[in-house]
Structures are given as structure tokens and as C-alpha cells.
Amino acid sequence: MNFMPLEIKGKQVYSTFSQRFRAGLIDFGVALLMLTLIYFETISIPVAIGIHIFTGFIGTFYAIYFHANYGATIGKLVMKIRVVNPDGTKIGYKKALLRSSVDVILSILIIWITIYTLLNINAQAFLSAELVDRSDMLVMFYPELQEKLDYLVVGWYFSEFVVLTMNKRKRALHDYIAGTIVVNKDFLQ
């Protein structure tokens, strides 16, 4: 694999941990905006399930779509960093999907657990509860599954940051899975 150089004219080619972290915070804000739809699920359990599937789908494919089409999510666009092949060329849908493959699996698990819970919870109690209480009700219904999934999600994201800080090209696990790098956009043609 031919990688872009670490520096060009004394300037760092690869994005820093700080840039990627700030991009992640921006993307988290975008995700929160999308997730507000979940709190409008007061009509019925089928509507709640539909909203969870929709927001899960949007959240899951947000990164895939933006990386394949723009080389960056909204957060990365703001931070002026791009996801590319090691030689600096654009990635396509295959690499974007590979890059998000673990997130896709985790999202499917979260959606499945939520749907299972919504189908088995007391609908009247759930729909009449305050918004914050709904989340507590969902977690109380499936504590063992939720706890294991929480550990899995936290473990994945923690390992992403650890790996990212341990190599000179600042590649995270998903970059290794897909064969991608994240660079400052000024170094791309």
C-alpha cells in the first residue's frame, strides 16, 4: 500500500486526534437532532417502532453516505478533514460500508433490542410516561441485554481512540478495516 507522506513542506498531512474528536462532537450533535424524532412517538407503539427503525437507518447510513459521496461527514467537512484511500484517492460505497461495518452491526442490535422491548412493554404505561421516564422504562425491561450492549459499544469506541493515538498516521480501527486514512483536505488534489 502506498501511503501519503506524513508531512508535506513541514505541515502534517494526517488529521490529528483533536480534529477527529471535534468532528465526532459535531456529528454527535447532528445525530441528536435526528434522534429528537424518537421523542415524538407518543401516538402508538407501532409508530414508535417505525420511528426507531427510521432513525436507526438514518443514523447508521449517515456516515456511509457522506463518506462515499463527500469523503467526510458534516463534522469532518467543518473540520476540513477527509477520508480517503492511502494514496489520497476518493473512497466509494464499498469502503465507506466497510469503515462503518461495526457501527452497522451495533445499530442493528440496538434497533432489534428496542423493537423487542417496545413489543413487550406495557404500551399504556409507556405512552403515558414522561419522555425521560420512557428511556428508563426501556432500560429496565431489558437490563441484561442493554448492559452487555453498552459494554460492547463503549469497548468499541474506546478501542477506536486507543488505536488512533497509537500510530503515526492516526488511523482508527475502522480505518484499518476499510483500508482508509483521514487527512487534512489541503493535501488532496
Full pLDDT tens readout for the chain, 189 residues: 789 989 999 999 999 999 999 999 999 998 888 777 666 656 788 888 888 888 888 878 999 999 999 999 999 999 999 999 999 999 999 999 999 999 999 999 888 888 888 888 888 888 888 877 877 887 787 767 778 888 999 999 999 999 999 999 999 999 999 999 999 999 997
Q: What is the model's pLDDT at position 49? A: 85
CA-angle at 72, arms to 11 and 70, nearest 5°: 115
CB count in 10 Å sphere of residue 128: 11
Q: What is the model's pLDDT at position 40? A: 60
Question: Would you list the DSSP string of 87-142?
Answer: TSPBP-HHHHHHHTHHHHHHHHHHHHHHHHHHHHS-HHHHHHS-HHHHHHHHHHHS
Q: What is the model's pLDDT at position 146? A: 77
Q: Phi first, then psi: give them for residue 4, nearest 5 degrees.
A: -65, 155
